[in-house]
Amino acid sequence: MRTLFCLVCAFCGLTTIQARQRQILDADWLFLLADSVQMSEVDYDDSAWRHLNVPHDWAIEGDFYVGNPSGASGGALPGGIGWYRKHFQISADPSPKGSRFFLEFDGVYMNSTVYVNGQEVGFRPYGYSTFEYDITPYVHQGENVVAVRVDNSDQPNSRWYSGCGIYRHVWLTQTHPVHVKHWGVYADARVVKGKGRLDIGVSLDGAGTVENTLMDSNGRVVGRSRGLRSTITVTKPLLWSCDAPNTYKVRTEVKVRGKVVDIYETTTGFRDFRFDPRTGFWLNGKNFKLNGVCEHHDFGCLGAALNEDALHRKLTKLKAMGVNAIRCSHNPPAPELLNMCDTMGLIVMDESFDMWRRKKTQNDYARFFDEWHERDLSDLVMRDRNHPSILMWSIGNEVLEQWSSAEADTLTLEQANLILNAGHDESTLAKDNELSVQSLLTQHLAEIVKRYDTSRPITAGCNEPSPNNHLFKSGAIDIIGFNYHHQWVKDVPQDFPDKPFIFSESVSALQTRGNYMMPSDSVYVAPKEWWLPYTDPSYMCSAYDNMHASWSSTHEETWDVVKHTPYVGGQFIWTGFDYIGEPTPYGFPARSSYFGLIDLAGFPKDTYYMYQSEWTTKPVLHLFPHWNWVPGDEIDMWCYYNNADEVELFVNGKSQGVKRKTASKDDPLCTAYHVGWRVTFDPGEVKAVSRKDGKVVCEQIIKTAGAPDHIRLSVDYQGQSTIFIMAEVVDRDGNLCPWAEDQICFIYEGDGEVLGTDNGSQTSMERFRVVPSVDGRLPTPHRKAFFGKCMVVATGNGSITAKSATLQPGVVTFTVEK
Ligand code: GAL
């Protein structure tokens, strides 16, 4: 899909040394899941190793197993130590006076050691940091070999699925000896008195002159400047916003004796934003809520391996729900996520760490924190600070330093989780006039951020709402961010006078797509208290918005607080998509989360439409559940709607009454956000009609499905090189069979491959990816339907035929660039 990507190729007048060339180094790596010191050596025999392209995640290819040390929290998938090797050519002469060469890894999970031609060039423990090595002293003209040892064997080290390997892109950059340093341009774009003010700072390696050209998105030059520090003013800038994400490009040219030796491009954007203690969030003079979601980095069946199409699909589905903000929880994201947020108009909270000194799992980043935090945090801010989409930095999520209890360092995973969710007593909070070690550490981290960027506020996800939380007490947190604790929001103005407020994390409702726990007006809390286990043989949660964990709430409950409290700037719901790992409230065989508004396969759960009805102006009428029950069953039918005054429900043509959304508690099945009816099931059809001023706005009919008849395939999302195909089990009239669990095999013909399959079930033990068996055969990818549906992800030009034992097959033909 990608070949050579040059910011600039050879320039006129440059004969021997080329200007900057940035080349993606993803193709043709060799991989082995084994460990030996000799694997770093130049002439090590790697001829039998597996050929693959990175981004790659070896854990997603494994089996779910209760004994895997990652535990169910980590997705019950394997870890281990793996090696990657790549042979590559260098045509120029590397030397301090000749060309310089840099190798950049966007992310390797974790503990990576990089060797070039047998020599160690560096070690990086944090699996989410981007890092670059100057490999000029180690390379030569001709063939070179890079070897990367990735060690994810010390587990558990994460509270969610991390993935294993070189799971983001790798880049090889060649420069002139005089060049812009790594992340060496800081384009600080602000709006000052209606004008765009761009302060540009350039850091050079070597001595040269600098000229900057600012261009709008049509390539028109709108300003120029010279020197290492300069300012460009744009009189009427096109502002960056969620609806119109206008960006600009700074082209930095470095010259030596009049000749251009480097060109470096930076995307930037002007926007005027603030968080107000009384009125919440403002962007370009508009006051609105941050309708955000938290996201982990995995792509379901594709694992942690970055796939731009999967990422774009994620963001597209979230944006269609009305999401305008993403929190990269709880670590630096892939650079591509930020690029997409820039161009799609999604606001970002960029987060650094899930823990500081105090660990949450046995082998997590806490063991590296003292030595590495300064480097990792600086690198995050340096890498990301030019993105117009980022409007705040988070220096940590629910770090145990919120409290002063010292035993945290010796806790087991279970104990740490309990402490996380339980809160602490008064004695562990900051005292008046005290600036504790924890508060000093908070100040120190904030100071690191401000060293590299003063244009954005700093927040942290805090699950201790008291103002005596050591983080708050430090004074270094610009935006008070609560995780949960919506009941405490009323105290915010008095507890934090003059500080803006957001929910850095909210809700944590628990849902399985397609499963409905009735009566729907009962709220199921699972577990009832944080210290109690929760079991249910179904290992499912409820797709009505009526189930959540003890520390959390229903979606409607928190949204109601956000919507009606002017000083709440917005929220980041936990989570947009389900993710692998953290299967609260269950343990193994549950291995992925229940928190998402969209399941792991990418199918929206019903509550997705509640937000769509509140957050967008798109006409919404979403009636659920299905209409396949036992005759005589009492069924709660819910409906989310907007742009209408009322909805009427009909069962087999008979009206069940007209209902309106209401904040009064008179009808237990109706709230300010949905209407509901308790009706008796009778096979046939159920119909909802929404009306405004007596006129029909929308209509939805659900029919009782007959016997499963055939498999219907349809394209869920087509990206540039990956296609997502939905398989549904339907009756002969095309009605979805909501209970179908048929095993579906996907027969692929074409020049690409099947990358994975999924169905959104949190307990499916089927492998996500099929990989060749020892004898080289590739098993047929398969997946059971889950509440009637599953998904297959593929590449190439070809066709997929979906077959099962008893259903008529489905076929889909497609063309996707490889
Ligand atoms: C929060 C935490 C998240 C996730 C969530 C589940 O406390 O920040 O990472 O664990 O709880 O409810």
Q: Coil, strand or helix: which one is 296?
A: coil
Q: What is the DSSP letter of 74?
A: G
Same domain, 238 and 376: no
Same domain, 216 and 317: no
Residue 624 falls inside a structural domain? yes
Pocket probe for ligand 1: among 329, 574, 584, 586, the residue whose CB has the most ligand atoms within 8 Å is 574
Q: What is the pLDDT of residue 98?
A: 86
Determine if ligand 1 sits within 6 Å of the CB of residue 574. Answer: yes
Q: Which of 394, 466, 474, 463 is nearest to 434 (CA)?
A: 474
Residue 514 falls inside a structural domain? no
Among 217, 233, 268, the domain boundary falls at 268
Determine if ligand 1 sits within 6 Å of the CB of residue 505. Answer: yes
Query: Beta 501-507 vs 480-483: how paired, if at all?
Result: parallel
Determine if ligand 1 sits within 6 Å of the CB of residue 295. Answer: no
Which among 295, 398, 401, 582 is annotated as catalytic? 398
Question: Mean pLDDT, the chain, as a whole number?
Answer: 94
Residue 273 falls inside a structural domain? no
Residue 515 falls inside a structural domain? no
Q: Which of 613, 635, 634 is nearest to 624 (CA)?
A: 635
Same domain, 253 and 219: yes
- The DSSP H or E segment spanning 276 is strand 273-276
Provide the token pair at 89: 């050519």
Q: What is the DSSP letter of 313?
A: H
Report whether pLDDT(805) > 60. yes
Q: What is the mean pLDDT of residues 134-139?
A: 97
What is the layout of strands, in order, in the sheet containing 810-815?
782-784, 743-750, 797-803, 810-815
Pocket probe for ligand 1: among 503, 572, 582, 593, the residue whose CB has the most ligand atoms within 8 Å is 582
Q: What are the distances in angstroms from CA 508 to CA 481, 583, 584, 588?
A: 16, 12, 10, 19
| Distance from the alpha carbon of residue 367 to the mean position of ligand 1, in angstroms | 21
Q: What is the mean pLDDT of residues 137-145?
A: 96
Backbone angles phi, psi at 678, to 5 degrees: -100, 115
Q: At 688, which CATH number?
A: 2.60.40.10
Q: Write the residue with the smallest CA distance to atom 3 of ligand 1.
A: 574
- Concerning whether 505 is annotated as a catalytic residue, the answer is yes
Same domain, 689 and 715: no
**Residue ranges making up the domain that contains 740:** 708-815
Same domain, 718 and 695: no
Per-residue pLDDT band at 5 (split at 50, 70, 90): very low
Same domain, 192 and 250: yes
CB distance 166 to 105 below 8 Å: yes
Determine if ligand 1 sits within 6 Å of the CB of residue 549. Answer: yes
Among 206, 236, 268, the domain boundary falls at 268
Same domain, 133 and 260: no
Per-residue pLDDT band at 587 (split at 50, 70, 90): very high
CB atoms within 10 A of CB 408: 22
Instruction: Classify residue 454 as exposed, middle or buried by CB count within 10 Å of its CB (0-12, 13-18, 19+).
Output: exposed
- Cα of 789 vs its chain's centroid, Å: 24
Determine if ligand 1 sits within 6 Å of the CB of residue 397. Answer: yes
Q: At 462, which CATH number?
A: 3.20.20.80
Among 268, 303, 337, the domain boundary falls at 268
Q: What is the mean pLDDT of residues 320-341?
A: 98
| Distance from the alpha carbon of residue 177 to the mean position of ligand 1, in angstroms | 47
Report whether pLDDT(420) > 60. no
Same domain, 697 and 713: no
Same domain, 101 and 170: yes
3-state SS record for 118-182: CEEEEEECCCCCCEEEECHHHCCCEEEEEEEEEEECCCCCCCCCCCCEECCCEEEEEECCCEEEE
Residue 726 falls inside a structural domain? yes
- Tell me: cis bond preceding 96? Omega within 30 of 0 counts: no
Provide the strand spans (E) within 575-722.
621-624, 634-641, 646-651, 654-659, 675-680, 685-692, 695-703, 710-718
| Distance from the alpha carbon of residue 646 to the mean position of ligand 1, in angstroms | 37
Determine if ligand 1 sits within 6 Å of the CB of residue 73. Answer: no
Per-residue pLDDT band at 416 (split at 50, 70, 90): low
- Chain segment 720-762, per-residue pLDDT in tens: 999 999 999 999 999 999 999 999 999 999 999 999 999 999 9
Same domain, 243 and 122: no
Q: Which of 805, 779, 717 is nearest to 300 (CA)?
A: 717
Q: What percent of the chain has pLDDT over 90?
A: 90
Residue 499 falls inside a structural domain? yes
Which among 351, 505, 582, 648 is annotated as catalytic? 505
| Distance from the alpha carbon of residue 329 to the mean position of ligand 1, in angstroms | 10
| Distance from the alpha carbon of residue 673 to the mean position of ligand 1, in angstroms | 25
Backbone angles phi, psi at 166, to 5 degrees: -85, 90
Q: Coil, strand or helix: which one is 700?
A: strand
Task: From the CA of 508, give the closest atom in ligand 1.
Answer: 12
Pocket probe for ligand 1: among 508, 550, 578, 593, the residue whose CB has the most ligand atoms within 8 Å is 508
Q: What is the mean pLDDT of residues 572-591?
A: 97
Same domain, 470 and 553: yes
Q: What is the pLDDT of residue 818?
A: 56
Report whether pLDDT(171) > 60. yes
Report whether pLDDT(2) > 60. no
- The DSSP H or E segment spanning 214 is strand 209-215
Q: Which of 714, 736, 712 is nearest to 724 (CA)?
A: 714
pTM of the model: 0.95
Q: What are the distances in angstroms from CA 389 to CA 52, 189, 327, 568?
A: 33, 12, 11, 20
Instruction: Classify residue 572 as exposed, middle or buried by CB count within 10 Å of its CB (0-12, 13-18, 19+).
Output: buried
- Concerning whether 728 is annotated as a catalytic residue, the answer is no
Task: From the CA of 549, give the closest atom in ligand 1.
Answer: 12
Residue 680 falls inside a structural domain? yes
Provide the token pair at 457: 């506020």
Q: What is the pLDDT of residue 344?
A: 98
| Distance from the alpha carbon of residue 410 to the mean position of ligand 1, in angstroms | 21
Residue 592 falls inside a structural domain? no
| Distance from the alpha carbon of residue 591 to the mean position of ligand 1, in angstroms | 15
Q: At 137, which CATH number?
A: 2.60.120.260
CB atoms within 10 A of CB 45: 8
Pocket probe for ligand 1: among 397, 419, 505, 506, the residue whose CB has the most ligand atoms within 8 Å is 505
Instruction: Give, to the nearest 10 degrees, the angle between helix 608-615 and helix 555-564.
Output: 20
Lowest mean pLDDT among 225-239, 386-400, 411-425, 528-542: 411-425
Provide the domain count of the chain.
5
Q: What is the mean pLDDT of residues 176-191?
A: 97
Provide the token pair at 290: 């941050």
Q: Which of 495, 450, 452 is nearest to 476 (CA)?
A: 450
Same domain, 27 and 147: yes
d(CA 520, CA 333): 37
